[in-house]
């Protein structure tokens, strides 16, 4: 089961990928958040990866949507 969420910032440069951290899911559910952007050659440039508790990731998702970020289709694998 793949359940990724993708958001793009209002300026259209940076993309966040939210995905479940299945290794922690049973004991202490966490979400991995990758920040990156697509380069002109079609290869993604991944800048950072954060791991946070599921409830904090949900709040971050809602806050970003409220400040102009928008949902997008998957950008990389």
77 in a structural domain: no
The yes-or-no verdict on residue 25 having pLDDT over 90 is no
Asked, for residue 31, whether it belongs to a domain, the answer is yes
Host domain of residue 50: 5-71
Residue 10, domain member (yes or no): yes
d(CA 48, CA 12): 17
Asked whether residue 60 is assigned to any structural domain, the reply reads yes
**Residue 39: predicted pLDDT:** 92
Share of residues in the chain with pLDDT > 90 (%): 81
Inform me whether the pLDDT recorded for 14 exceeds 60.
Answer: yes
Tokens at 38, concatenated? 């697509």
Q: How far apart are alpha carbons 21 and 7 in whole angstroms?
A: 18
Please say if the pLDDT value at position 49 is more than 60. yes
* Of 11, 24, 4, nearest in space to 70 by CA: 11
Q: Is residue 76 part of a domain?
A: no
Report d(CA 5, CA 53) in Å as an integer. 15
Residue 11 lies in a domain: yes
57 assigned to some structural domain: yes
pLDDT at residue 1 in the model:
46
The answer to whether position 22 is within a domain reads: yes
The count of structural domains within the chain is 1
């Amino acid at each position: 089961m793949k359940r990724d969420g993708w958001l793009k910032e209002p300026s259209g440069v940076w993309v966040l990928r939210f995905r479940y951290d299945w290794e922690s899911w049973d004991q202490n559910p966490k979400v991995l958040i990758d920040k990156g952007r697509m380069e002109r050659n079609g290869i993604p440039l991944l800048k950072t990866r954060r791991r946070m508790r599921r409830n904090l990731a949900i709040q971050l998702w809602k806050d970003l949507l409220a400040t102009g970020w928008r949902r997008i289709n998957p950008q990389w694998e």
